[in-house]
């Protein structure tokens, strides 16, 4: 079985592009009976398209292209995400965004939706009342391929705790501050990080 992975969004420098770069770094990849290969040429009208499934990690397909898949290729060969929906976690689903408005219908027809965690999956399910389609969701960890070479042993590290703040949906910075203050009352050395200013540190 061959799964073709679309890598056309690899130039994106934000989270989706980094995730895509991580996938690209390990392709081609064989997992049992599944052979994952990369491609920049996944189009529904391509004449010699022969893969069993087509995975769009960072789907940049619009509604017109999606509809072409429905007409020309079997839509149940499509795997979309994790960067397919939502545009806004708090406001999902937004009616004027086609893939959010049609999320339930799309989910029924395609092979599946990839998400990074059970929390992500449950949020999408609860907002769209698609609990019956829970098996359509596939959990793919965001950093599966990372194999760091420069991690120091614990006794050589200067920092005890990395306090990483990222509020992707609701602003919980007040609770974050409370937790940080509790940690500061200990003897641990703490390094505070925020998502938008994440740097590579000499730990």
pLDDT band at 199 (very low <50, low <70, confident <90, very high): very low
Cis amide leading into 28 (omega within 30)? yes
Q: What is the pLDDT of residues 36-72, one digit of tens each?
A: 888 887 777 666 667 888 888 887 788 888 888 877 7
Beta bridge pairs of residue 39:
6
Domain boundaries, the chain: 2-139, 154-197
Q: What is the pLDDT of residues 99-146, one digit of tens each?
A: 999 999 999 999 999 998 898 999 999 999 999 999 999 998 776 666
Whose structure tokens read 């003897």?
Answer: 187
DSSP string covering 122-163? HHHHHHHT-GGGGGGEEE--TTTT---S-PPPGGG-S-SEEE
Cβ 56 vs Cβ 114: under 8 Å: no
Residue 147: what pLDDT?
A: 66
Its pTM surpasses 0.85 = no
Average pLDDT value over all residues in the chain = 83
Which of 63-77, 95-109, 148-162, 187-201 is least confident? 187-201
Structure-token pair, residue 27: 């392709």
Expressed in angstroms, the distance from the first to the final Cα of the chain is 42
């Amino acid at each position: 079985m061959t799964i073709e992975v679309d890598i056309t969004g690899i130039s994106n420098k934000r989270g989706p592009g980094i995730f895509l770069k991580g996938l690209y770094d390990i392709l081609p990849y064989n997992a049992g009976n599944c052979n994952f290969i990369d491609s920049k040429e996944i189009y529904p009208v391509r004449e010699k398209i022969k893969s069993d499934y087509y995975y769009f990690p960072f789907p940049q397909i619009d509604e017109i292209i999606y509809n072409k898949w429905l007409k020309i290729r079997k839509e149940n060969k499509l795997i979309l995400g994790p960067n397919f929906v939502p545009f806004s976690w708090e406001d999902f689903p937004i009616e004027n965004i086609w893939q959010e408005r049609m999320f339930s219908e799309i989910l029924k027809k395609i092979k599946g939706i990839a998400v990074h965690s059970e929390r992500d999956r449950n949020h999408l399910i609860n907002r769209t009342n698609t609990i019956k389609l829970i098996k359509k969701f596939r959990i793919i960890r965001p950093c599966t391929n990372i194999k760091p070479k420069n991690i120091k042993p614990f006794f050589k590290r200067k920092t005890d705790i990395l306090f990483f703040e990222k509020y992707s949906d609701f602003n919980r910075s007040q609770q974050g501050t409370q937790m940080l203050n509790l940690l500061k009352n200990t003897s641990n050395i703490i390094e505070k990080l925020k998502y938008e200013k994440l740097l590579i540190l000499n730990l």
